[in-house]
A = this chain, B = another copy of it.
Amino acid sequence: MNASGQHTTARPGPRSGPVRLADVAAAAQVSPALASRVLNGDPAARAAPATKARIVEAAARLGYVPNVAAKSLRVSRTGLIGLVVHDLSSPIYLELMRGAREEAARHSYFLVLGDVDELLDDDDAFRIFISGRRVDGIIMQGGHSELDLRIGDIAQALPTVVVNAPTEVDHEGATQVFPDEPAATRLLTQHLIELGHRRIGLVSGPRQSMTNRLREEGIVSALDAAGLELREDDRVHGEWSADGGRAGVDELVRRWGPGTDRPSALIAGNSLIGIGMLGAVGRHGMVVPRDLSVAAVHDTWINEHLAPSLTAVSLPLHEVGTVAVKTLLAGTNGDRLTLSDPPPVLHRRASTGARPAG
């Protein structure tokens, strides 16, 4: 159109690939630099409103979506958080994952799934995940003895938050976030005491695990306040699973023998154990709660649908997930956060009742 007749009409044909920032800039007749600043809301960019509008409009019209890899390379941020879980088949931590995912989304972050065992087995995967700047930070479930040993190393390479299961020792730089476990089991125990139970047993996970110890601590303190105790022969430790719950009840029944005095109520160390216990108690010919009350840690949707429905105390797992992400993104470091908000809540259901008169 102009004198030379070239520059205005001879615009390069539409590029085949995805729209780049340069395309937007060209369309809006500004430099890529300015386009970048405006699109990213840089306050220093005080272009004329009309110019800004032109850039935004061009981006929208062309369907511009920033190339994440290029951005990452430039700013050394991936927009990803690694979530390392023990076992993707346990529903207990779904709520935690959910909380973490939601909070991440609020910050325009996405979650990348890692598996503890795989990461430990595959050195390459471990290195890529941890040191390959594949993620900006990592949230991992504590309580896995082998992985716990490496938390220090991991935290050195990457912002790290350990959730849920506190570890023995503090780890240089790793933040820990977990629910107030003793408060939860205290509540559960008090409920049973109020129902008249004087001897209360426990089926839980590995005895030495921090999680078990904290949960026992709450039980013992509540019993203690009532002048009662958690007897050595009334506790069984095993797996954190329904099978563990079943095995625990089997073991207790074996110990009791016929005619012996026995606890009138049992606490399940977690929700899976509780489910297993309920089934096992029935199989031994006892009726819950008439013969034995059962109450569990973790309030999941299943509890309400079990027969009998399972009394349980809720743990703020959703919050653990959100707080873990917040902490990670805030760059807080090395703290140990015990979540007390929301506090554990007792959900009374059909599996707990008054101590039998006998």
Interface positions of A (Cβ within 8 A of B): 18, 63, 65-70, 72-73, 76, 78-80, 83, 88-89, 91, 94-95, 97-98, 101-102, 105, 108, 110-115, 118, 122, 124-125, 127-129, 131-134, 242, 245-246, 275-276, 278-279, 282, 301-302, 304-307, 309
In the A-B complex, the 7 residue pairs with the smallest Cβ-Cβ separation, listed nearest first, are A69-B72, A91-B91, A69-B73, A279-B305, A65-B131, A88-B98, A242-B305
Is B115 touching A113 in the complex (CB atoms < 8 A)? Answer: no
- CB nearest neighbor in B for A101: B113
Is A113 touching B114 in the complex (CB atoms < 8 A)? Answer: no
Contacts of A115 in B (CB 8 A): 101-102, 105
Across the interface, A242 reaches (CB within 8 A) one of B79, B83, B97, B301, namely B301
Contacts of A129 in B (CB 8 A): 110
Interface of A is mostly: helix
Contacts of A80 in B (CB 8 A): 112
Given contact pairs A88-B94, A88-B98, a sample of 16 additional A-B residue pairs in the complex whose CB atoms are under 8 Å apart: A65-B133, A66-B128, A68-B72, A68-B134, A80-B112, A88-B97, A89-B95, A91-B91, A102-B115, A110-B129, A111-B112, A112-B112, A112-B113, A242-B302, A278-B307, A302-B302
**A-B residue pairs in contact (CB < 8 Å), sample of 7:** A65-B128, A83-B113, A89-B98, A242-B301, A245-B305, A279-B307, A279-B309
- CB nearest neighbor in B for A19: B131
CB distance from A249 to the nearest CB of B (A): 11
Is A68 touching B128 in the complex (CB atoms < 8 A)? Answer: yes
Contacts of A278 in B (CB 8 A): 305, 307
CB distance from A193 to the nearest CB of B (A): 26
